[in-house]
Amino acid sequence: MQLIPSLLQGGAERVLSDLVTHMPDTVSSSVVTLLDEEPAFDVGSIPITTLGIRRGHADPRAIPRLLAQVRKLKPDVIHAWMYHCNLLTACTLSTPIIWSIHNTTLPSGQTRLLTRTVDRLSAVLSPVVPARIVYCAEKARQEHEARGYMVSKGIVIRNGVDVACFPPNERLRAAKRQELGIRPDDTLLGVVARFDPQKDFANVLAAFARVLRQRPTAKLALVGRGNEPSNTELVALCRSFDVLDHVLFLGVVRDIHGILSAIDILVIGSAFGEALPMAALEAAAAHVPIITTDVADFAELGFAEEDIVPSGNSERLAEAVLARLAKQGQPEDAHRLSEIAARVDATFSLQTMIREYVRVYFESCPRTSQLRGENGPLTNTDQEKDLTYSILSDEKELLPWGGI
């Protein structure tokens, strides 16, 4: 059973959907959502059930409904994703538990007190509740273990992408740009992120305003939850930087490959907390240049120093974007993008991620861990066939008892 607030567009939701739809036959799963909302991700034939909770409303019935699903499905392993569901698994200690963490820092004044409190409680409970704590990046592991999370239980499983799904495609690029109303020679920058303080849209828009001084026909595509023209806060922010007429409010887009093919640069302006953004891995796989702030763990991707700038510095962000645009089309630039895509395939492949999660599931399950010898994980597929697992996933905007 995969329990997640919703399957709306987001990095963790994308990882979960990729995981369950590519899982080997030795593992069975189902999806349970807290919210009855239209999913952005296709989980194929895997059944989806909702607990019927309304977004933004405290509903204590979520807990007994969750426990009823656990009793009904009898999962072999419960896998909780992110802080609040990690803590929530403390009420289901009869089943082996895995925690997943997809974040790094939680600075005071920029994250909610409840989130920081849940994080501190989880650190205290980490020696007792989880069998394993899975981090999606080494930087995330270091940050949390420094805050008190149990070191011996930590393991890094990097987010993974299927590079074959993001090939460079000039025909797709031309078609998508035409659909968006972008002329062949115009610059199109892209942001693929939900509208959230963590993503620091003000920083990105301030940098874009600087870019427009040198590239007056440039456009900025905003992709993700909350990036619709109905978002009055976002529209006002664009207007305050005098960039409104140059912004495409695209909201949730299912064809991410098409968007990545159309843009010239992916811009990540996050202020804090990023571990390993899925948007960056997908863009790198698609040979798209990336300019990012220094908050995420991109060491193994081999980005150039000039492509990583301090967070909150719109001037440096704009300078990096303009410098990157000046290299566009150069043979050495294409070669470097190919090298980065190859690193994604070698280190951040979907197949590697799935294999690592399956290994942790089986090693955490009492019925299968006893089959393992000292030389590594079990391989007896006949014994593996009955394994089911439960993933509890959390979205920062909602908790079963209310929401952050």
Q: How do the domains of the chain map onto residue ranges?
A: 2-160+349-393, 163-347
Say what the pLDDT of residue 4 is.
77
Say what the pLDDT of residue 9 is.
73
Say what the pLDDT of residue 94 is.
83
Alpha-carbon torsion, ordered 273, 204, 225, 355, to 10 deg: -50
Which value, in Å, is the radius of gyration of the alpha carbons in the chain?
A: 21
- pLDDT means per 10 residues, the chain with 404 residues, are 76 86 84 79 83 72 84 88 83 88 91 90 96 94 97 96 93 96 96 95 98 97 96 98 98 94 97 92 96 88 91 97 93 91 93 93 74 42 43 40 28
**Tokens 């820092």 correspond to what residue?**
105
Cα dihedral 56, 59, 65, 66 sign: positive
Beta strands 188-192 and 154-156: pairing type?
Answer: unpaired
List the structure tokens of 170. 């000039």
Beta strands 265-268 and 188-192: pairing type?
Answer: parallel
Q: Which CATH class is domain 2-160+349-393?
A: alpha beta
Alpha-carbon distance 324 to 298, whole Å?
A: 17
What one-letter code names the amino acid at 340? I
**Nearest Cα to 136, choosing from 281, 338, 234?**
281
Say what the pLDDT of residue 393 is.
45
**Level-2 CATH architecture, domain 163-347:** 3-Layer(aba) Sandwich (3.40)
Say what the pLDDT of residue 115 is.
87
Say what the pLDDT of residue 269 is.
96
Say what the pLDDT of residue 81 is.
83
Say what the pLDDT of residue 62 is.
76
How many CA atoms are closer than 13 Å to the CA of 295, on its beta-carbon side? Answer: 21
Query: Comparing 2-160+349-393 with 163-347, is the CATH topology the same?
Result: yes
**Nearest Cα to 166, choosing from 192, 139, 132?**
192
How distant, in Å, are the alpha carbons of 189, 273, 276 from that of 140? 28, 9, 9
